[in-house]
């Protein structure tokens, strides 16, 4: 009687492995797209260029993102989510303080905390330069509405709203008053230079890079200037 050989079935790859590889591929595409969109803008960047940078076939972008518009929105979602993860905790701390009885000095300390955490975010986040270039194209190109909304209504908007409330309570002005809005913008301006002209700013100070010592020095000055400006206001 002849022996019957049953073909061996190839072992299935665990679903978790497939999901992990899919997530890794998706993030690699998003990071490549952020770089190219930031460099060349939405309208001048092709999916073929992004696929080449991410080292995937062009149809893969269609599979994961349903085209260039979906990919651009995914970039905005990634960026907004990362920024929220970094900055939301300090906003929650400040909001919790505002829900209790708090002195004027305590309110000033809240504003200082927000700007200190923002300084840390700006100076230590290696992705910020790429994100800044990406955001700058938001006002130049016809970008997908979903992406524009994510950028316009993200954590930055929440932060400005909270700062208007706190500064309004310090000065006795309405949060929507023009004076309150001006104070939010001008106080934030002491940090914005590190966002739009980071390398030039570091060279002017004489820093090659920002370490913890440099960060402590800068945040101490930001706190000193912010507190002084608010103590004299109102």
Which stretches of the chain score pLDDT less than 70?
Answer: 1-20, 234
Q: Which residues of 2-29 are buried (b: 16+ CB within 10 A; e: fewer)?
A: eeeeeeeeeeeeeeeeeeeeeeebbeeb
Q: Is residue 16 part of a domain?
A: no
Distance CA 84, CA 78 (A): 10
Q: Is residue 52 part of a domain?
A: no
Judged by DSSP in three states, 100 sits in coil
User: Could you list the residue range(s) of the whole structural domain that residue 80 is in?
Assistant: 75-231
Please say whether the dihedral angle defined by the alpha carbons of residues 88, 194, 175 and 220, taken in this order, is positive or negative: positive
**Nearest 5°: CA angle at 169, between 166 and 171?**
110
Domain CATH for 146? 1.10.357.10
Give how many domains the chain has, as a whole number. Answer: 1
- Give the model's pLDDT for residue 106: 97
Q: Are 169 and 107 in contact (CB under 8 A)?
A: yes
Q: Is residue 51 part of a domain?
A: no
Q: Is residue 82 part of a domain?
A: yes
Q: Is residue 50 part of a domain?
A: no
Q: Is residue 48 part of a domain?
A: no
Of 114, 119, 118, which Cα lies nearest the Cα of 93? 114
Contacts of 10 (CB under 8 A, 6+ apart): none
- Give the model's pLDDT for residue 18: 46
- Give the model's pLDDT for residue 196: 80
**pTM of structure:** 0.80
Q: Is residue 132 part of a domain?
A: yes
Per-residue pLDDT of 31-62, as tens digits, reads: 999 999 999 999 999 999 999 999 999 999 99
- Percentage helix, strand, coil, to 5, in the chain? 75, 0, 25
Q: Is residue 24 part of a domain?
A: no
Contacts of 87 (CB under 8 A, 6+ apart): 117, 118, 121, 155, 159
């Amino acid at each position: 009687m002849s022996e019957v050989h049953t073909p061996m079935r190839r072992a299935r790859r665990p679903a978790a492995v497939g999901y992990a590889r899919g997530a890794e591929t998706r993030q690699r595409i998003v990071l490549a797209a952020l770089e190219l969109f930031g460099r060349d803008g939405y309208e001048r960047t092709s999916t073929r260029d992004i696929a080449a940078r991410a080292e995937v076939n062009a149809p893969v972008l269609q599979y994961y993102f349903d085209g260039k518009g979906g990919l651009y929105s995914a970039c905005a979602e990634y960026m907004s989510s990362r920024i929220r993860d970094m900055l939301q905790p300090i906003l929650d701390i400040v909001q919790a303080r505002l829900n209790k009885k708090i002195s004027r000095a305590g309110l000033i300390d809240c504003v200082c905390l927000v700007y200190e955490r923002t300084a840390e975010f700006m100076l230590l986040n290696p992705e910020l330069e790429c994100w800044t270039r990406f955001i700058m194209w938001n006002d130049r190109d016809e970008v997908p509405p979903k992406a524009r909304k994510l950028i316009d209504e993200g954590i930055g908007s929440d932060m400005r709203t909270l700062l208007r409330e706190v500064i309004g309570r310090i000065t006795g002005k309405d949060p929507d008053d023009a004076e309150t809005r001006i104070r939010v913008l001008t106080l934030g301006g002491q940090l914005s230079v590190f966002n739009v002209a980071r390398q030039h700013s570091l060279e002017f100070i004489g820093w090659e890079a920002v370490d913890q010592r440099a960060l402590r020095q800068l945040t101490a000055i930001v706190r000193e200037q912010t507190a002084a400006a608010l103590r004299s206001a109102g």
